[in-house]
């Protein structure tokens, strides 16, 4: 098991003095500033079971950059979420700026079951192999990795404070890492972390209401027109097969909707598009993940208002996301739409199936629509509909109360040093922590801000609010680092 | 799965309004003051795996007494350790006194794989079924149970503060419960909790040194005589088969020692006796667990000094523990001695095999003897000898750094409201927390106190030190309860 293969090495190789895990430095990728190395850490398949299968290992991909690092400086650790870590590396620009400021080592750890970190190789995403995909296992991967990193990079393993960073589900993970492993991370910046929603502690009728509100805020006629579009589809669907065929043609679907279930899936696929437009409502275009223009809510609303009829309106908005390059002649719904237990959709996700499994087990995202407080067709996503999908798809039954029991529900006061940042345009924000919990667990609002906006690289078009929030974050992180360093010096460790 | 069987019911049955677990009230035991009910909670086999086998359930035994309980009062929760919970119920008297004082509900939860809480019934203790025996699973059992108890017993589930209690490994568990679930427990009284030793963070040459010191403290001639006894055995063992036979006869073994391995096992069995005498060195006789007279160190030392030769000396001390009733005509070493990865021995434990598995996986107890700083034959218990035993016996390999990573090692400062109490006669004490960590994580010393002495029922012969420590504990627990209640009222929950 103890192998250190050096395939390609950029600058001097730091050998990891590992006791439990064994590092394979197997390839080096160099992207834009700063460059990083790709490393692979051996992790136990099951941190909570020493017997039989649990004692096997797999390789976790980790991106490491010491471009800014000063020996003894802090370690900035991104708790990878649902997707390839390389994509997240490109999305999280602010952390690199901060690393330069604080002379920090940058580490991006990939979440098990995503990207290249597949515990069972090509057979990972299958019903019989999904059981070891849990929040606890992922956090344990990070905890073991951090323990080994501090041993490797710091003469005294207690000397380098580690700060956790994460956005969206990654922000949930960085929060939980701070709650459960304050011995390892001195603080966490959790951007757009829907910790309360994930634990099933929010009402379940807010997210799509807030998507609607984003469009209404730009132009109140927009949500009205979207409602009209859906109403027209409903009217046609009431005519049976011919009506479904007409909807399909006008929505440019490659094959015709066959029945009500198909129609519901299409509605959800449309709703997913509006949700992404709302959460990614940035003042600049993005091309990592979805391709979107600047201010996509405004842009799609403008298109929508120019359309000739209700269905054309919806098509315009959907096309902005799903056919950004205008290359598609039709939409292949059977190919593009991924049914999943996340009602905001999994269609655009490289890790859609693994995420579906997570939302079928620990992560609760029970958001519904009613066409009254939101602009979408009524679609109740209840614990029962969730469980039915999950049993059929994965053979598992959710345990609704578990995440709140395990990760403290809404009772976070015993922790400290967490920043919860949220943009007020982000429909996910009401799933998170919007008020200070204590003097060191603080909520920061980015006015005019979208999903994980603060973690993105600074942009010339950034509103003043996000610039100020980033300054506050830098200030607080600086405090955490000073405190941790002083404590260690006081205790004779540093 | 949802069954509530009422077999026997004492006073009014409190139906548990459970959402995830289902309660079976199946029998009622009434011991000495106060009476308790025996309940059975359905727990998931694997809290960290929702798929396949993990989704099965087993029944956890829980003893509940509402004899002193006032509605809305606190819940005192004993985190069961290695053994039947009924035995622990009888051992932990002080918690009941405190419950009367604070009008608390008393709950004693049995640890999975011990007593009647066997996840796989009669087949539980077998290599293929041991994997779900971990500290994390046991804590998760307690967390889920507490969540359900507060829902059941308190109109507002946030209203009743829960205080964790535990002694020895149970104290380790109550500490870890507070570290990892401060949302559920407002504080922990951890008596004789060897948290640092269990995580492999102590030197490994202290425990038997302190056993020796206990005997030396009473009479310095005692450890010298014990050393002489072992030296005589070594001399005889050097003579080969005949010498082994002579040792066997003089030690009253039922069958003769065959080889060096047998001899080493006997040495360990003897060492276990001295260790138990030292840790249970109370001013009064006990009959729960081992039967022992008052001040067994002094008593055995007196016997030992009267003996006619070295081997007879050791026999006298061993006999005090293993043949307290003087009914045995010989010692059946093959029957009585249980080899295990706990160097202080498992021979007297009803849950010896499960404890062996735990010390083969997460719990590290690498204590050695050298016959220089202690009175026992040299016996180095290293990570290698431990691993060899564990692979052979259970097919598992220990992960030495894991417990320190998972449960914060020596970096407990991020937690709060923990009392670490230790008796200065207890050879386990240097495995625990002996200095205050912060203003609310405090170390209390019981001068002249043995293992978990403060948790035992008050006794007329108690030294003033334990009486004072109990008063301090009551005071601090009262503070925690007030704080928790005030916080809940302030946040509008109470």
Q: Active-site residue among B66, B374, B426, B462?
A: B426
Q: Is the pLDDT reported for residue B22 higher than 50?
A: no
CB-CB neighbors (< 8 A) of A408 in chain B: 181-183
Contact B415 A414 (CB under 8 A): yes
Q: Is the pLDDT reported for residue B153 higher than 60?
A: yes
Task: List C-alpha distances in Å: B195 to B80, B174, B362.
Answer: 16, 10, 12
Contact B183 A409 (CB under 8 A): yes
Distance from CA of A201 to the nearest CA of B (A): 14
Residues A309 and A450 in one domain: no
**Contact indicator for A89, A109 with CB cutoff of 8 Å:** no
Residues B80 and B62 in one domain: yes
Mean pLDDT of the residues in chain B: 90
Q: Active-site residue among A210, A342, A426, A454?
A: A426
Task: List C-alpha distances in Å: A237 to A232, A256, A318, A482.
Answer: 9, 12, 19, 63
Q: Is the pLDDT reported for residue B30 higher than 70?
A: no
Structural domain harbouring B141: 7-199+407-493
Q: Is the pTM of this model over 0.90?
A: yes
Q: What does the pLDDT look like over A372-393, one tens digit per residue?
A: 999 999 999 999 999 999 999 9
Contact A55 B411 (CB under 8 A): no
Residues constituting chain B = 494
**Contact indicator for B225, B305 with CB cutoff of 8 Å:** yes
Q: What does the pLDDT look like over B422-446, one tens digit per residue?
A: 999 999 999 999 999 999 999 999 9
Residue of A nearest to B417 (CA): A414
Distance from CA of A6 to the nearest CA of B (A): 26
Contact A405 B362 (CB under 8 A): no
Beta strands in B80-147 (DSSP E): 105-109
Distance from CA of B297 to the nearest CA of A (A): 38
CB-CB neighbors (< 8 A) of A132 in chain B: 49
Residues A139 and A267 in one domain: no
Residues B65 and B158 in one domain: yes
Match 């299968």 to its residue by tokens.
A53
Q: Is residue B142 part of a domain?
A: yes
- % of chain B surpassing 70 pLDDT: 91
Contact B131 A49 (CB under 8 A): yes
Domain boundary residue among A394, A423, A449?
A394
Q: Please, which residues have CB within 8 angstroms of residue A31's CB and are 6 or more apart in sequence?
A: A86, A89, A90
Distance from CA of A20 to the nearest CA of B (A): 7
Q: Is the pLDDT reported for residue B231 higher than 70?
A: yes
Q: Which pLDDT belongs to residue A326?
A: 81
Contact B127 A183 (CB under 8 A): no
Residues A257 and A224 in one domain: yes
Q: Is residue B402 part of a domain?
A: no
Buried b (16+ CB within 10 A) or exposed e, A4-17: eeeeeeeeeebebe
Q: Is residue A401 part of a domain?
A: no
CB-CB neighbors (< 8 A) of B400 in chain A: 19-20
Q: Active-site residue among B47, B111, B389, B451?
A: B451
Q: Which pLDDT belongs to residue A493?
A: 43
CATH number of the structural domain spanning residue A161: 3.40.50.1820
CB-CB neighbors (< 8 A) of A20 in chain B: 399-402
Match 């049993």 to its residue by tokens.
A391
Q: What is the pLDDT confidence band of residue B336, given thresholds at 50, 70 and 90? A: confident
Q: What is the mean pLDDT of residues B77-81?
A: 98
Q: Which of B46, B127, B183 sits opposite A411 (nearest CB)?
A: B183
CB-CB neighbors (< 8 A) of A21 in chain B: none
Q: What does the pLDDT look like over A60-117, one tens digit per residue?
A: 999 999 999 999 899 999 999 999 999 999 999 999 999 999 999 999 999 999 999 9
CB-CB neighbors (< 8 A) of B127 in chain A: 51
Distance from CA of A240 to the nearest CA of B (A): 40
Q: Is A245 a catalytic residue?
A: no
Q: Is residue A1 part of a domain?
A: no
Q: Is A168 a catalytic residue?
A: yes
Interface test with B, best of A183, A386, A415 (most B CBs within 10 A): A183
Residue of B nearest to A51 (CA): B131
Cis peptide before A420 (omega within 30 of 0): no
For chain A, which residues score pLDDT lower than 70?
1-32, 157-158, 488-494
CB-CB neighbors (< 8 A) of B19 in chain A: 400-401
CB-CB neighbors (< 8 A) of B361 in chain A: 50
B229/B226 Cα distance (integer angstroms):
5
Contact B48 A127 (CB under 8 A): no
Contact A362 B127 (CB under 8 A): no
* Per-residue three-class SS string for A290-322: CCECCCHHHHHHHHHHHCCCHHHHHHHHHHHHH
Residues A136 and A242 in one domain: no
Distance from CA of B399 to the nearest CA of A (A): 7
Q: Please, which residues have CB within 8 angstroms of residue A351's CB and are 6 or more apart in sequence?
A: A82, A83, A84, A113, A114, A115
Q: Is residue A104 part of a domain?
A: yes
**Contact indicator for A360, A393 with CB cutoff of 8 Å:** yes
Q: Which helix (H) or strand (E) holds A232?
A: helix A221-237
Contact A44 B408 (CB under 8 A): no
CB-CB neighbors (< 8 A) of A415 in chain B: 182, 414
Q: Is A364 a catalytic residue?
A: no
**Contact indicator for B184, B161 with CB cutoff of 8 Å:** no
Residues B214 and B349 in one domain: yes
Residues A54 and A180 in one domain: yes
Domain boundary residue among B394, B429, B456?
B394
CA atoms within 13 A on the CB side of A295: 13
CB-CB neighbors (< 8 A) of A143 in chain B: 405-406
Q: Which pLDDT belongs to residue B159?
A: 79
Residue of A nearest to B147 (CA): A405
Q: Which of A48, A182, A400 sits opposite B414 (nearest CB)?
A: A182
- Across the beta sheet with B418-423, the strand order is B23-29, B36-44, B57-65, B105-109, B75-79, B162-167, B187-191, B418-423, B441-446
ipTM at complex level? 0.92
Interface test with B, best of A54, A157, A406 (most B CBs within 10 A): A406
Residues B379 and B414 in one domain: no
Task: List C-alpha distances in Å: A338 to A54, A367, B86.
Answer: 31, 17, 52
Q: Which of B183, B396, B409 sits opposite A51 (nearest CB)?
A: B396
Q: Active-site residue among A42, A47, A111, A451?
A: A451
Structural domain count, chain A: 2
Q: Is residue B153 part of a domain?
A: yes
Q: Which of B50, B183, B402 sits opposite A396 (nearest CB)?
A: B50
Of A117-131, A279-293, B165-179, B204-218, the least confident: A279-293
Of A380-394, B153-167, B382-396, the least confident: B153-167
Q: Which pLDDT belongs to residue A158?
A: 65
CATH number of the structural domain spanning residue B300: 1.20.120.980
Residues B137 and B172 in one domain: yes
Residues A17 and A122 in one domain: yes
Q: What does the pLDDT look like over B465-485, one tens digit per residue?
A: 999 999 999 999 999 999 998
Residues B16 and B130 in one domain: yes
Distance from CA of B54 to the nearest CA of A (A): 8
Q: Is the pLDDT reported for residue B21 higher than 80?
A: no
Domain boundary residue among A354, A370, A394?
A394
Q: Is residue B400 part of a domain?
A: no
Q: What does the pLDDT look like over A398-433, one tens digit per residue?
A: 999 999 999 999 999 999 999 999 999 999 999 999
Q: Is residue B311 part of a domain?
A: yes
Distance from CA of B363 to the nearest CA of A (A): 12
């Amino acid at each position: 098991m103890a192998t250190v293969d050096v395939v390609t090495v950029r600058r001097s190789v730091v050998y990891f003095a590992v006791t439990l895990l064994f590092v394979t430095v197997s390839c080096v990728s160099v992207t834009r500033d700063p460059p990083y190395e790709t490393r692979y850490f051996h992790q136990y398949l099951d941190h909570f079971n020493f017997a039989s299968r649990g004692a096997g290992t797999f390789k976790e991909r980790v991106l490491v950059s010491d471009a800014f690092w000063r020996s003894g400086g802090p370690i900035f650790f991104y708790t990878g979420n649902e997707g390839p870590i390389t994509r997240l590396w490109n999305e999280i620009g602010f952390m690199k700026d901060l690393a330069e400021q604080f002379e920090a080592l940058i580490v991006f750890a990939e979440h098990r079951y995503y990207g290249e970190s597949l515990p069972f190789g090509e057979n990972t995403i299958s019903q019989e192999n999904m059981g070891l995909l849990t929040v606890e296992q992922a956090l344990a991967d990070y905890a073991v990795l951090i323990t080994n990193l501090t041993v490797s990079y710091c003469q005294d393993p207690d000397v380098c404070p580690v700060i956790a960073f994460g956005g969206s589900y990654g922000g949930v993970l960085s929060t939980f890492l701070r709650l459960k492993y304050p011995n390892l991370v001195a603080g966490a910046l959790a951007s757009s972390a829907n910790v309360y929603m994930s634990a099933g502690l929010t009402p379940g009728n807010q997210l799509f209401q807030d998507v609607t509100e984003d469009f209404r805020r730009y132009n109140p006629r927009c949500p009205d027109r979207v409602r009209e579009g859906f109403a027209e589809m409903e009217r046609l669907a009431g005519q049976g097969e011919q009506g479904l065929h007409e909807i399909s043609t006008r929505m440019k679907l490659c094959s015709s909707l066959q029945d009500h279930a198909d129609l519901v899936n299409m509605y959800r696929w449309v709703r997913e598009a509006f949700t992404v437009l709302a959460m990614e409502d940035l003042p600049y275009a993005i091309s990592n993940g979805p391709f979107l223009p600047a201010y996509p809510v405004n842009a799609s609303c403008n298109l929508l208002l120019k359309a000739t009829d209700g269905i054309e309106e919806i098509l315009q908005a959907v096309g902005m996301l799903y056919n950004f390059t205008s290359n598609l002649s039709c939409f292949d719904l059977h190919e593009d739409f991924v049914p999943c237990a996340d009602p905001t959709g999994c269609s655009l996700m490289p890790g859609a199936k693994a995420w579906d499994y997570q939302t079928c087990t620990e992560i609760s995202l029970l958001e519904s629509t009613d066409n009254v407080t939101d602009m979408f067709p009524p679609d109740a996503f209840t614990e029962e509909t969730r469980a039915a999908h999950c049993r059929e798809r994965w053979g598992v039954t959710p345990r609704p109360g578990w995440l709140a029991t395990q990760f403290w529900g809404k009772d976070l006061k015993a922790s400290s040093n967490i920043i919860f940042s949220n943009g007020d345009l982000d429909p996910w924000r009401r799933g998170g922590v919007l008020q200070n919990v204590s003097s060191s667990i603080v909520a920061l609002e980015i006015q005019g801000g979208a999903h994980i906006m603060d973690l993105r690289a600074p942009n010339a078009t950034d509103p003043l609010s996000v610039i100020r929030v980033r300054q506050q974050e830098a200030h607080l992180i600086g405090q955490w680092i000073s405190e941790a360093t002083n404590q260690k010096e006081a205790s004779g460790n540093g």
